[in-house]
Amino acid sequence: MHVAGFNKSKTLSVAEVKGWPGTTDVSGTLQSIIRLWDMYDLDLPGLIRGQILHTKTDPLTDREVLDIAETLCESGDKYWGILWLIALSERKQTGQYNGDGSLPEEFINSRLALYYSQYGMPWKSVETLEKFQINGSTEMRANYDYFKSRAAETERRTFSPPPNDDMDVMYKELCNRNNQTRSYLSTLRCYLTKTTVPFIRGKEEVLNRNPRISLFHDVISKSDIEQLKADASKHFLDSSVALTTGPVTDTLTRVSQTHWMLDDEFILRLAWKIKLITGLSNTQKMRCSDSEPLQVLNYGSGGMYRPHLDPMEDAKIPKFLVGSGDRVATWMFYLSSVTAGGATVFPRLRVRIPVVEGAAAFWYNLLDDGQVNRRTLHAGCPVLLGSKWVANRWIHSNAQMFIRPCIPRK
C-alpha cells in the first residue's frame, strides 16, 4: 500500500472506530489464531488458505504466517512454529499465493533452517537449504556449511511434539466433544423443577449429578438479552484475573471484554428470576452483599478463559463484600449462541456445557462444610466462529445461612 493510501485508511479507521491497532492488538490477534489452531486441530494448510471448517475467509499472507511462526518460536514453542514454516514453505513451492506480503522462498527456508537448528535438529536445516546453497547468496552458503558441520556432531532424533499436561489434554478434549461415557449420560435427566413460586416450573437439564451442574432453559428473554448487550457494550474493558494483589489483565489466561452492571430495576428483575429458580438471595448491597454486580462478558473470536475456580479464597476482596463469605454458587446466563467453540467445560468432572442462547448454567462452588469444591474447576473454551456473550451472577454464602446452612464435617 502506498504511504498516502495507508495514511488515508488510518485516518478513516480512527474516525470510525476511534482507534488504530497497536503492537498489543497485533500480538493478541496472532495469539488468537495460534490458540484456535491448537485447540481445535484445524487443518494448517487450510487455515493459511483462509478455510476454517466450512467458512472461507481471506488467506493469510506470507508475512502474517511468518509472524505467527516467529511468535511461537520466540515464546519457546519451536516445534509448533516450525510446523507453520513448513506449511508456508510448501505453499510457496506450489505457488498458491503471490499477493501483498509475499516473501521469497529462499528467505522462508532460511528461517525454517534456523529454527530447525535451534530445535536441535541441524540435519533438517541442511535438508531445508540443500536446493538453495549452490545458487544462493554467500550468506546462504555459509549457513549451509555451518549447519552441515553441526549435523555431523549431533545425534539424530525424531521430530515430535513436546508432552502435554494432563489437565490441558482434558481441557482440549472437552472443548471439542462431550467426554462423558454413554452409560453415565443415560442416567442424566431433564426436569420441570420446582421454584419458590408453586405454580412456576423451571426447565432444568442436569449435566452432572455430583456436584450437580444444571442448564436451565428459556430463563431470559430476547429483549432482556439485547438490553444487557446494549448497556454493557458502551462500557467494556479488558477482562482481568483476580489475584492476591488484586485484579490484573492476563491475556494468556483470559481474553474477553467485561462490564459490571450495578443493581437497578432491570437487574433486580433478573436477580428475582435467579432467586425464583435457585432459592438463593442474590441482591447487591453496600455492605455484606448477597452477591456481586452482574458481570456481562463478550468473547470474540479466540476469546477464552483457561481452567480456574470461581471462589475468591485469598483474592483481594472489595469493601462491599467483606463479611459476605465466599462465592457459594455461580449463575451464568448465555446471551448468544455461537457457530463453533465457546463451550464451558469442567476438566475434573469431564462435563461440557454448550452455548445455548436464553439458557443459564448453575452450580455450587462450595461443599456443604463451606470448603472450596476443587472439582468445579472450569474453563471457557476459545470461540472459533461467532461471538459469545454471557452474564455471571456470583452468589455469596453468608446470606444463604438459613437457605443452605453449612454442615460441619464429622
Q: Give the pLDDT confidence of 60-87 residue by residue, as tens digits.
A: 999 999 999 999 998 889 999 999 999 9
Lowest mean per-residue pLDDT among 5-9, 61-65, 186-190, 193-197: 5-9
374-405 burial code (b ≥16 CB/10 A, e <16):
ebbbbbbbbbbbbbbbbbbbbbbbbbbeeebe
**C-alpha–C-alpha distance, residues 338 and 143, integer Å:** 48
Contact 69/289 with Cβ under 8 angstroms? no
Question: Quick one: 73 and 39 in the same domain?
Answer: yes
Residue 127: enclosing H or E segment and its boundaries? helix 122-129
Report CA Rg, the chain: 26
Quick one: average pLDDT of 357-381? 97
The confidence band for 2, taking pLDDT boundaries of 50, 70 and 90, is: very low
The confidence band for 279, taking pLDDT boundaries of 50, 70 and 90, is: very high
The confidence band for 225, taking pLDDT boundaries of 50, 70 and 90, is: very high
Lowest mean per-residue pLDDT among 88-102, 322-336, 389-403: 88-102
Domain of 137, in residue numbers: 3-153
Quick one: average pLDDT of 363-387? 96
Question: Quick one: 382 and 312 in the same domain?
Answer: yes
Among candidate residues 153, 188, 214, the one where a domain is terminated: 153
Lowest mean per-residue pLDDT among 87-101, 168-182, 277-291: 87-101
Among candidate residues 97, 128, 153, the one where a domain is terminated: 153
User: Which position has the higher pLDDT, 65 or 134?
Assistant: 65
pLDDT, position 4: 45
Residue 385 located in a structural domain: yes
pLDDT, position 127: 93
**pLDDT above 60 for 12:** no
The amino acid present at 85, given as its one-letter code, is L
pLDDT, position 173: 96
Into how many domains does the chain fold? 2
pLDDT, position 248: 56
Residue 177 located in a structural domain: yes
Instruction: Say which CATH number the domain at 351 has.
Output: 2.60.120.620
The confidence band for 1, taking pLDDT boundaries of 50, 70 and 90, is: very low
Between CA 57 and CA 62, with CA 60 as vertex, the angle to 5 degrees is 160
Residue 191: enclosing H or E segment and its boundaries? strand 190-194
**C-alpha–C-alpha distance, residues 64 and 380, integer Å:** 27
pLDDT, position 100: 76
Question: Quick one: 197 and 126 in the same domain?
Answer: no
> How much is the pTM?
0.88
Instruction: Say which CATH number the domain at 62 has.
Output: 1.25.40.10
Q: pLDDT above 90 covers what percent of the chain?
A: 73
Quick one: average pLDDT of 184-205? 95
Quick one: average pLDDT of 30-47? 92
pLDDT, position 27: 74
**pLDDT above 90 for 244:** no
Residue 410 located in a structural domain: no
DSSP state of 366: B
**C-alpha–C-alpha distance, residues 149 and 171, integer Å:** 43
pLDDT, position 328: 97
Lowest mean per-residue pLDDT among 11-15, 96-100, 273-277: 11-15
Distances (CA, A) of 341 to 163, 277, 366: 24, 28, 28
pLDDT, position 316: 82
Classify residue 38 as left (phi > 0), alpha (psi -120 to 50) or beta: alpha
Question: Quick one: 7 and 98 in the same domain?
Answer: yes
The 10 Å Cβ neighbour count of residue 236 is 14
Residue 409 located in a structural domain: no
